[in-house]
Amino acid sequence: SIPAMGKKQHQSDKLYLTAKEWKDIGGHKDDTGTRIKRAEFKRLPFNHCSLSLLPFEDPVAAPTGEIFDLTAIVPYLKKYGINPCTGQKMGVKDLIPLKLNKDGEGNFRCPVTFRVFTPQSHVVLIKPTGNVYAYESVYELNLKRNHFKDLLTDEPFLRTDIIDLQNPANLDKFNMEKFHHVKLDLKTREEIAAEKKAMKNPAFFIRKMNNETKNTLETLKKDYVAPNWEKQEEKTADAINAAHFSQGQVSMGFTSTAMDPITQQKAAVLDDDVVRYGRVKKNGYVRIVTNHGAINLELYCKVAPKACENFITHCRTGYYNNSPIHRIIKNFMMQGGDPTGTGKGGESIWKKPFEDEFGPGLSHDARGILSMANKGTNSNGSQFFITFRPCKYLDKKHSIFGRVVGGMDSLLSIEKEETEEGGDRPVNAVTFMRADVFVDPFEEAQAEIDKEREELNAGDRKKVAEEKRKEAAKPKAFSTGIGKYINPQLKRAQADPVGPSSSIPGPALSTQKKAKVVRNTLSDFSSW
């Protein structure tokens, strides 16, 4: 039996726009609620006041985690008595003074791990003390061990006293466009919208420039010649870099009228890095020479090819030469690889950050692990660090690409160096003087690819020459169909009579008559 259909099953599938759909997808002037839902996302930096939207000097926090400048929030609370971000009731007594730790350059950092806070850092506040930590410190040392005491003051606190000041997983909380005082200040919103619209016109900026700048721009406009961008030559797949999948142009041409119709399927071309990394089968070996001695490194080129190629190339080109080891933390690690020595410089060989590589079975579980320093996910550059002890909490956060296999005494000597008070920069300079590359698997893989491609090209040239020889050996066709191999000039010469006027020599025509053949008949028997 056929089951009965439910009643009003398609009641919500109307053939017209409902009032809610009309309001959500447009068609008339939005109300305040709809405009708030579709507000732009504009993140407030960590070191800015949520009320004045300017860098704070005397920071305090609300119980919900918003940060304010004390000089800006107190008059606001006395006048309105609400949280300017959420609109909920709040008083001056609810504010929590923040105790932020800074490094020697004035950057906010965690007082336990000494890691500088970045836009990707998860930052929390301990409410009773006002101390600010990285969440990983609180998780590892408090929550994981069920030890609810402040890491600096040893003052007890509750789990509910941990307040998020910055959480990359919940960015809506730091969206300036959704702050209560921004949404309800209609005049300010109109001014901001008008300014954004005006900024799209270059004349908006020219009005704010002096006469000298205007004259320079006018001269540039007259003499400026647009660059002629040459179309890059399309790579063709060969037996070495051809992928097992196609470029997808045929399906795109059949599916969309916006694409060019293409009927020939072509294999996708693999990047040179992918082809080269697939042929790397062994580890690399490098020796770095410091003013405290040499350190020998084994690099996991097959597991972390990008990090290893980046490190080996920088060592080979001298990028690291005479660069400082700018950060030393006893019982933790030493960090280098920044030619500027500030901890904020350095770039990869590709001139842009590259992604993390987390190989199976690799862990920061020993002394002498070589790993990439980064600012967050997929932000690797040229900086690296070597551990002084196991640091398993760094697993899946930093790419491990090698280990120390010689020179542990040099590593110990560097670890004993004194650092500046309240910081991690060594008092006496520790210098990465030079590097010697012993084994470079990437160079060997590239040489193997070049050799195979040369053999492939030689085979192609031989094949083309053979095809030309066979083509030349074939009889020449003068037409199509029957008799296509007969030269028409010779054919005409045979048809013309022989004479002095003949320009084309033809075969000699015999004038001798053929002998008449006498056939015997049955009536004549004389020859028998």
28 is catalytic: no
User: Where do we find the tokens 């066979």?
Assistant: 470
Q: Which long-range contacts (CB under 8 A, 24 or more apart) does 153-161 make?
A: 153/129, 155/128, 155/129, 156/128, 157/126, 157/127, 157/128, 157/129, 161/126, 161/127, 161/128
109, 276, 364, 398: which one is catalytic?
398
Specify burial of residue 408 (Cβ count, 10 A radius: 0-12, 13-18, 19+): middle
332, 388, 401, 432: which one is catalytic?
332
* Strand pairing class (132-134; 284-290): unpaired
Burial 195-213 (b: 16+ CB within 10 A, else e): eeeeeeeeeeeeeeeeeee
Neighbours of 528 (CB within 10 A): 5
CA dist 117 and 124 (Å) reads 11
117 is catalytic: no
- ∠ CA 145-148-154 to the nearest 5 degrees? 115
CA dist 383 and 381 (Å) reads 6
Alpha carbon of residue 86 to chain centroid: 36
CA dist 356 and 344 (Å) reads 18
Which pair of structure tokens corresponds to residue 141?
């040392």
131, 310, 374, 380: which one is catalytic?
374
CA dist 172 and 3 (Å) reads 47
Which pair of structure tokens corresponds to residue 119?
């836009």
Which pair of structure tokens corresponds to residue 443?
């160079």
244 is catalytic: no
165, 362, 394, 411: which one is catalytic?
394
Identity of residue 318: G
Neighbours of 462 (CB within 10 A): 10
56, 117, 311, 385: which one is catalytic?
385
Three-class DSSP category at 416: coil
512 is catalytic: no
DSSP result, 102-132: E-TTS-EE-TTT-PBP-TT--EEEETTT-BE
109, 292, 326, 327: which one is catalytic?
327
131, 335, 380, 383: which one is catalytic?
335
CA dist 338 and 345 (Å) reads 5
53 is catalytic: no
Which pair of structure tokens corresponds to residue 280?
């790397």
Percent helix / strand / coil, the chain, rounded to 5: 30, 20, 50
Query: Where in the sequence numbering do the catalytic residues fall?
Result: 327, 332, 335, 374, 385, 394, 398
